[in-house]
């Protein structure tokens, strides 16, 4: 049997959601409000939430009136999301490296650093090629990534994150262009250890990827308030790109 990729095991674990339970949903909603005001989709626009997790972005976008589809590799997350489906909101288990629905969407949103996970970096291009195929002609991708330069500069090697009765012990290191985050903790009478790997991709890397996969950059932002991107100081690298 093939060993699971780290993201298949960790994202499907209930402890992943415990560790990140304090994600700022209010900030996420404000970001989506600003983003929608900026790109101004038609009311009947179709949006693909790529790597949707438990659907917080997809659900909010649907509440704003759009037809939204969320896809994710996590069976448990999609099973949870299925209970929330409606005629204009649907969820599917799917690997984002593969085409989902050819020319099926006006917009693809890939948010909260849901990219750059793969052991084989060629899978980054494979993912972007699939996104290109999923988009209608002149469709738009919004890809929200960590600003790698600042993340490397401000890397915290060790920390503890108490979440209820569980204390997560986190160690980080930069190895071969990836930030490796080792997460260990004790829960339900057992010791657990998981790993996160995120490739430290720069704007130059993305520019090369987009050139290869058929996208043109329209706009760059550096945070969820849509301030301009600055490599030295921005927390995020948010890219609005158009299918060529």
Taking the domains of the chain in order of start, what are their residue ranges?
Answer: 22-147+201-243
- What pTM value is reported for the model? 0.92
Topology of domain 22-147+201-243, CATH = Rossmann fold (3.40.50)
Distances (CA, A) of 191 to 6, 163, 167, 169, 183: 17, 16, 11, 11, 11
Summarised one tens digit per residue, pLDDT across range 128-145 is 999 999 999 999 999 999
Summarised one tens digit per residue, pLDDT across range 183-228 is 999 988 899 999 999 999 999 999 999 999 999 999 999 999 999 9
- How confident is the model at residue 2, as a pLDDT? 47
Distances (CA, A) of 111 to 126, 143, 164, 238: 18, 6, 27, 9
Summarised one tens digit per residue, pLDDT across range 108-129 is 999 999 999 988 889 999 999 9
- How confident is the model at residue 120, as a pLDDT? 87
């Amino acid at each position: 049997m093939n060993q699971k990729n780290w993201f298949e095991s960790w994202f499907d674990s209930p402890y992943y959601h415990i560790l990140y339970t304090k994600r700022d949903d209010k900030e996420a909603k404000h970001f989506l409000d600003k983003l929608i005001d900026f790109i101004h989709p038609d009311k009947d626009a179709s949006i693909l939430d790529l790597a949707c997790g438990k659907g917080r972005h997809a659900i909010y976008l649907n509440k704003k009136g759009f037809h939204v589809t969320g896809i994710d590799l996590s069976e448990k997350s999609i099973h949870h999301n299925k209970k929330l489906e409606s005629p204009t909101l649907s969820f599917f288990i799917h690997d984002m490296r593969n085409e989902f629905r050819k020319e099926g969407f006006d917009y693809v949103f890939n948010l909260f650093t849901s990219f750059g996970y793969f052991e084989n970096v060629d899978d980054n291009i494979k993912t972007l090629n699939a996104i290109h195929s999923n988009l209608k002609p002149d469709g738009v991708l919004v890809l929200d990534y960590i600003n790698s330069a600042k993340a490397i500069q401000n890397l915290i090697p060790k920390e503890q994150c108490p979440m209820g009765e569980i204390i997560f012990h986190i160690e980080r290191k930069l190895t071969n262009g990836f930030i490796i985050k080792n997460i260990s903790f004790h829960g339900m009478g057992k010791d657990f250890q998981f790993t996160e790997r995120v490739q430290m991709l720069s704007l130059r890397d993305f520019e090369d990827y987009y050139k290869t996969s058929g996208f043109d950059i329209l706009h760059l932002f550096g945070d969820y308030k849509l301030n301009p991107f600055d490599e030295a100081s921005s927390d995020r690298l948010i890219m609005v790109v158009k299918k060529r």
